[in-house]
Amino acid sequence: MSDDLPKLSATQAAAAIERGELGADELFAFYRKRAQADASANGDGLNRFTWVAEDASTTPLQSGPGWSDSAGTPGAGSLAGVPLAVKDLFCTKGVPSQSGSRILEGYRPPYTASAVQAPTGVGATLLAKTNQDEFAMGSSTENSASGPTLNRWDRSRVPGGSSGGSAAAVAAGLAPWAIGTDTGGSIRQPAALCGIVGLKPTYGAVSRFGMIAFASSLDQAGPLTRDVTDAALMLRHMVGRDRCDATSLDYPHEIELPRAERLAGLRLGVPVELRAPDPDAAGGEAEAGAEIEPGVRESFERALQALGFEEGAARV
Amino acid sequence: MSEPENPAGGAGSGGTDAVAGGGPGTNGAGPRLEPVIGLEIHVQLATKTKMFCSCGLSFGEPPNTRTCPVCLGLPGSLPVANAQAIHFGLMIGMALGSELAPRSIFHRKNYFYPDLPKGYQISQYDEPLCLGGRLGEVRIHRVHLEEDAAKLTHVGESGRIHGSDASVVDFNRGGTPLAEIVTEPDIRTAEQASEWLKLLRTTLRALGVSDVNMEEGSLRCDANISLRPTGTDELGVKTELKNMNSFRFIERGIKAEVERQRAIIEGGGQVVQETLHFDPHSGAISSLRSKEEAHDYRYFPEPDLLPVAIDEGMLEAARLDMSELPAARAERFEQELGLTAESAQLLAFRSELGDYFEQALAAKADPPPPAQTLANWVGGDLVSRLGEGEDPADSKVEPGALAALVGLVSEKKISVGAGRQVLDKLVADGGSDPAAIVEAEGLAAIGGGDELAEIVAAALGANADAAERVRSGNAKAIGPIIGAVMRETKGRADGGEVTRLVHEQLGI
């Protein structure tokens, strides 16, 4: 099955493990080998990881009584042994958690962040900690004590940041999925630059307990995944009120996985500012449009067409 | 928002007689200067857990055993406000007649010190839980909630940081809930400060929100002190005096600082605003640091906590937990039971004595003890037989037994002296029936009959000199005669009756 492993989404892998068609150990060993190879490539790697697990047993589970009772959503489906890459700034019990900084060298927290405990509590295994801008202050993952992370698609380019290690790892198939944090774009922007799905949940949806803070009133943890279904599945297990985070809230309903096979009937909104003006148009518009490379423009427009976007359908 | 009821009303009558009058003691010439004193009181709240985490409060456990990532300030940890601490804060506000803020917020107060692992203390700044109020003759400025710092111990001879060999930190105390109570500068003398603080302590103890023990640090008091020409409204430059951990030290410290400032001003100098340390051993005052301004702390709203929104349910819960406050209780003892003001305050301000007194009164002893006599026995004879500060409820003396005993004494069934012997027995052995002790020990009063007259006659014969002096007008000479009678009767005779018989037999 080994050849097919990288093709499985996290959701598919979880289902395969539940059905007994895939061994969790096999899946973990596969990704660990890839992650370890990148981490030990002596400068030739893409530098996505700050730490890689020896085996699945390092997964930090419950930190102990009295701590966060956030442990995923019972009955919402198992994450059955699917390996997870976690941004360095999440505290993970006994595992280096330095937020990309040398200031915290040697810090091995005695507890695990709720946003990590939640998915690992329902079966996800901790694969690796991912590189980031120091204390999440950056948008390129160049400003890390571990050195810059490179973009899988073009090593001369940045993967975005600050959750660049998480985004680059998922894009390169070194981890089935990852979690990161977003204060002012730190999930969404690297996801875009690496060509994967990234989501910043509404503030308060996910517990911040155990996240080394950047800006407490804006920080949120969220998934970085290969597809929307994986993002929904991970988010389903991350959301909810945590008594260790006074700013967290009950999520009003269980997050559903996408079921529609076609997009017909969905209404798609695109901010007008994102529509690149035609470079052949006259005046200032053309000038602004000229700053966008033709390849990017074409790619964006193709994506809109693929989604069934109707030109000028409604302007609101 | 409804106005909370104020059970502290009329507190002015309580416990403050000693501070009335007095005034500033000036001994030099020049304009008379009066001290202006305000207090800042930190009260450790007796909650189950710390202010922002679920660690239990520490009572002498080994150092650093009551800690967690939150109260150690580890990266990634978040505070969650303790609902019981907010509840206690509301009770304090109600007791002091404060305005309870419908919405208050926590701030970060930033400063660097090893007892503060986060680098800031979570406190309240411009939107505190309680505003205004009054206790006795002192107005309250505000009451807010915050967290205590860890405990630093300086290893070395002096116990202070200067000259110490090492300083060690115990984080068990870090994060303990504190209510900070700030008064208006309404206090004028050191004695008044100490007396008022006792009233506050009694009030807080009655609320049950704190152990209020100064020696153990659950009640701590700093004083802001300045001087001004008597009769003016201006405020002089103030100093803040810290580390006064007993009522005696508060009086001594304030007095010393007032005299220090007086000497500076009368010498033509100017007082410098600073924080001072009072050394109770030497009585010396030394500078700790120049006083910070609020902006030095870079206060900003704590983003990890929601505003505290007080709703009717929280107010109702606080109201339900309010017990009768000491000032109101003293007034009730005076008005309804006819106790003297002194007795009423003694019993009301030491609530354990008041509780015991009321239980004894309710015991339906036969004959019933008069309230004032019972009060005297509880506050005098009983307390003097117990350890310092001991709760009589922890002694072997049952309230009902004491009531019965006082009934016997006041009905003159036994003498006061015999009553005290019975009390000695009760303190030592317990028991619920003083009359049985009276019988067993043969302590029943010797009435005014022939038996006592014969004993008096014998005593007069044995003390002829004294008898002669009494006869010639020296009233004090009766002492040895009464003493002899009491020895003979083992204290069972009534002193008044003996005196009457002596006079009768001497024909005066």
CA of A18: how far to CAs of A22, A223, B335, in Å? 8, 22, 79
- A54 in helix, strand or coil? coil
Q: For residue A146, how far is the Cα from the chain centroid?
A: 19
CA separation for the pair B154, B438 (Å, rounded) = 58
Report whether pLDDT(A262) > 90: no
- Chain B nearest-CA distance from A245, in A, is 6
The β-bridge partners of A141 are: none
pLDDT tens digit sequence for A1-54: 557 888 999 999 999 998 999 999 999 999 999 999 988 876 677 889 999 998
CA separation for the pair B226, B238 (Å, rounded) = 4
- Chain A nearest-CA distance from B79, in A, is 7
Contact A107 B77 (CB under 8 A): no
- A114 inside 8 A of chain B by CB: no
- With cut-offs at 50, 70 and 90, classify the pLDDT of residue B34: very high
A113 CB neighbours in chain B (<8 A) are 76
Q: Which residues contact B51 (CB under 8 A, 6 or more apart)?
A: B79, B81, B82, B85, B122, B145, B146, B147, B148, B175, B176, B177, B178
Active site residues of A: 87, 162, 186
Report whether pLDDT(B20) > 60: no
User: If 0-12 CB within 10 Å is exposed, 13-18 middle and 19+ buried, where does residue B471 land?
Assistant: middle
Contact A210 B303 (CB under 8 A): no
Sign of CA dihedral A73, A76, A81, A84: negative
Out of A66, A212, A217, name the one closest to residue B76 (CB): A212
- Chain A nearest-CA distance from B122, in A, is 14
Predicted TM-score of the model (pTM): 0.79
Contact A216 B304 (CB under 8 A): yes
- B45 in helix, strand or coil? coil
Q: Which of B182, B172, B192 is nearest to B224 (CA)?
A: B182
Whole-number pLDDT of residue B483: 87
- Whether A178 and A84 have beta carbons less than 8 Å apart is answered as yes
Instruction: Give backbone dihedrals phi and psi of B32, rounded to 5 degrees, phi first.
Output: -70, 135
Give the count of beta carbons closer than 10 Å to the beta carbon of residue A292: 14
pLDDT tens digit sequence for A178-237: 999 999 999 999 999 999 999 999 999 999 999 999 999 999 999 999 999 999 999 999
Contact B303 A107 (CB under 8 A): no
Q: Where are the beta strands (DSSP E) in B2-65?
A: 33-44
pLDDT tens digit sequence for B188-231: 999 999 999 999 999 998 899 999 999 889 999 999 999 999 98
**Least confident stretch, B125-139, B179-193, B416-430:** B416-430
B54 CB neighbours in chain A (<8 A) are 66
CA separation for the pair A115, A134 (Å, rounded) = 20
Sign of CA dihedral A3, A7, A8, A10: positive
**Mean model confidence pLDDT for chain A:** 86
Q: Where are the beta strands (DSSP E) in A92-146?
A: 125-130
Instruction: Give backbone dihedrals phi and psi of A165, rounded to 5 degrees, phi first.
Output: -65, -45
Give B472-503 as a DSSP string.
TT-GGGGHHHHHHHHHHHTT-B-HHHHHHHHH
Q: Which of A187, A165, A160 is nearest to A175 (CA)?
A: A165
Task: Find, in chain B, the residue whose alpha carbon is nearest to that of A99.
Answer: B75
Whole-number pLDDT of residue A277: 63
Out of A104, A110, A246, name the one closest to residue B81 (CB): A246
Give B272-292 as a DSSP string.
PPEEEEE-TTT--EEEEEEPP
CA separation for the pair B360, B365 (Å, rounded) = 8
- A99 inside 8 A of chain B by CB: yes
Contact A213 B76 (CB under 8 A): yes
Q: For residue B381, how far is the Cα from the chain centroid?
A: 21
B79 CB neighbours in chain A (<8 A) are 246
Q: Which residues contact A145 (CB under 8 A, 6 or more apart)?
A: A98, A100, A101, A102, A105, A134
Give B114-175 as a DSSP string.
TT-TTSEEEEE-SS-SEE--EETTEEEEEEEEEEPPPEEEEESSSSSSTT-SEEEEETTSTT
Task: Find, in chain B, the residue whose alpha carbon is nearest to that of A66.
Answer: B54
**Structure tokens given for B141:** 């400025």
Task: Find, in chain B, the residue whose alpha carbon is nearest to that of A249.
Answer: B306
CA separation for the pair A180, A212 (Å, rounded) = 12
Out of B74, B76, B304, name the one closest to residue A246 (CB): B304
- A113 inside 8 A of chain B by CB: yes
Contact A210 B305 (CB under 8 A): no
Out of A209, A211, A246, name the one closest to residue B305 (CB): A246
